[in-house]
Amino acid sequence: MTSTGEAVQFWVLAVLAVGGALGMLLCRRAVHSALCLAATMLSLAVCYLAQGAVFLGVVQIVVYTGAIMMLFLFVVMLVGVSAADSVKEQLKGQRVAAVLTGLGFGVLLIAGIAHARLGHFSGLAEANAEGNVQGLARLIFTKYVWAFEVTGALLITAAIGAMVLTHREHVTAPRTQRELAAQRVRDNVQVPPLPAPGVYARHNAVDIAALLPDGTVAEDSVMSTLRERGQIRDVSQDMLRRMAELEDSSAEWLGRPASGRPAAPKQRGALETVPGEPTHRQNPEEEQ
Amino acid sequence: MNPVNYLYLAALLFTIGAAGVLVRRNAIVLFMCVELMLNASNLALVTFSRLHGNLDGQILAFFTMVVAAAEVVVGLAIIVSIFRTRHSASVDDSNLMKL
């Protein structure tokens, strides 16, 4: 039997641990799962501390929640934070079968523990007499010294394996700036530098495309990353529409014929390719 | 409170981890579920160490942690290299061998 304090601590930690585990199971995003798992691991660390495994409790916090979970978070960032798990079932009824299997497994496991004839809990007071760390060290460096040395080999193999698996060799040499310039001249599509972004005297943000003399947008003035994400802000259409409205209303007021300015010019790409050259760009109207 | 409750907690966590491996599709989340199962077994080992009054269970839990760290490093490297070639971390998409 344990003290009341440990009982209270156990129930609080058990609820936290099971809640974290269920959260990991049910969250659709990998980041949320990782954070829930970190909560579970922290509460398990306090469980170890409460049970007299002081060294393991600290190692659990430092190695598991410190190192391993950070590694998980790094990989989640590499793979993509917003990628949610698919709900589509590839095998019919697999999810239901999996939940039923899990339930059955849990019932069997817990019933097995309930029927086990466990002896009296002798406690670690005697084993921890000279200190938990000293006791563990005595065992590791005498009885388990062979396993400990093999562990070193395992860790080195794992580190080398990770490096071999994630290392990527360049098949061809990276292209130099000179080669890129020569390629540009050979293609004869855009020999001078690209136009700068920003509509001067109004905006100079990088996500606002420059305007051509006829008011259309020079799409190549915005960098390709923003273009691919569709994050170009466009101020030209709004401005031109307001100007046309103003001219029309003033013409109506003065009794003159309307100016005939087009309300909103059609968008077009900034680049006019040389006739005869194959166009490497898509039709810009499809991108809108 | 009987310390056997720690064993029940470990069994419950192990079950949740096993169900997660069966249910989830994202390879990273699968690895997290495996980690949860390893943690649950560690808790059981620490409790058994307390039951028997010697430190061998804690030594086993310590070696489990080391092996888990090595496993995570290699497993995540495999996931990253699969993601580079297939552009997906879902285990359903790795069906190159399927007829």
Model confidence pLDDT, tens digit, residues A24-71: 999 888 899 999 999 999 999 999 999 989 999 999 999 989 999 999
Cα angle A68, A72, A75 (rounded to 5 degrees) comes to 140
A4, A81, A85: best mutation site toward chain B, by most B Cβ within 10 Å?
A: A85
Taking residues B45-58, report their average pLDDT.
Answer: 91
> Which of A52-56, A95-99, A136-140, A220-224 is predicted least confidently?
A220-224
Interface of B with A in 53-72 (CB under 8 A): 53-56, 58-59, 61-63, 65-72
Q: Per the structure block, which two tokens stand in for A100?
A: 């039923």
Please report residues of B whose CB lies closer than 8 A to that of A52: 50
Share of chain A above pLDDT 70, in %: 82
Cα separation, A240 vs A263, whole angstroms: 7
> What is the structure's pLDDT at A81?
63
> What is the structure's pLDDT at A143?
92
Which among A270, A260, A271 has a CA at the least distance from the CA of A212? Answer: A270
Q: Determine if residue A230 is left, alpha or beta; phi over 0 gives left, psi from -120 to 50 gives alpha, anything else beta.
A: left
> Which of A36-45, A134-143, A194-203, B43-52 is predicted least confidently?
A194-203
Interface of B with A in 36-55 (CB under 8 A): 36, 39, 42-43, 46-47, 49-55
**Which CA distances in Å does A184 have to A66, A193, A231?**
49, 10, 26
Q: Which domains does chain A have, with CATH numbers?
A: 1-81 (1.20.120.1200), 199-267 (no CATH)
User: Within 13 Å of residue B22, how many CA atoms lie on the same side as its CB?
Assistant: 17
Q: Which CATH architecture best describes the domain B4-86?
A: Orthogonal Bundle (1.10)
Which among A88, A83, A108, A102 has a CA at the least distance from the CA of B22? Answer: A102
B26, B31, B82: best mutation site toward chain A, by most A Cβ within 10 Å?
A: B26
Asked if pLDDT for residue A274 goes beyond 50, the answer is: no
Cα separation, B85 vs B83, whole angstroms: 6
Please report residues of A whose CB lies closer than 8 A to that of B12: 18, 21, 106, 110
> Which of A5-19, A208-222, B10-24 is predicted least confidently?
A208-222
Q: So what's the ipTM on this one? A: 0.92
Asked if pLDDT for residue A182 goes beyond 80, the answer is: yes
Please report residues of B whose CB lies closer than 8 A to that of A103: 15, 19
The residue among A166 and A241 whose pLDDT is bigger is: A166
Model confidence pLDDT, tens digit, residues A14-26: 999 999 999 999 9
Backbone angles phi, psi at A163, to 5 degrees: -65, -40
How many other CB atoms sit within 10 Å of the CB of residue A208? 20
Backbone angles phi, psi at B6, to 5 degrees: -60, -35
> What is the structure's pLDDT at B75?
92
> What is the structure's pLDDT at B30?
92
Check: CB of residue B89 under 8 Å from CB of residue A83: yes
Look at A72 and B31 and tell me if their CB atoms are within 8 Å. Answer: yes
> What is the structure's pLDDT at A17?
95
Which among A62, A29, A288, A111 has a CA at the least distance from the CA of B65? Answer: A62
> What is the structure's pLDDT at A283?
45
Please report residues of A whose CB lies closer than 8 A to that of B39: 40-41, 44, 60, 64
The full set of domain ranges for chain B reads 4-86
Asked if pLDDT for residue A263 goes beyond 60, the answer is: no
Asked if pLDDT for residue A192 goes beyond 90, the answer is: no
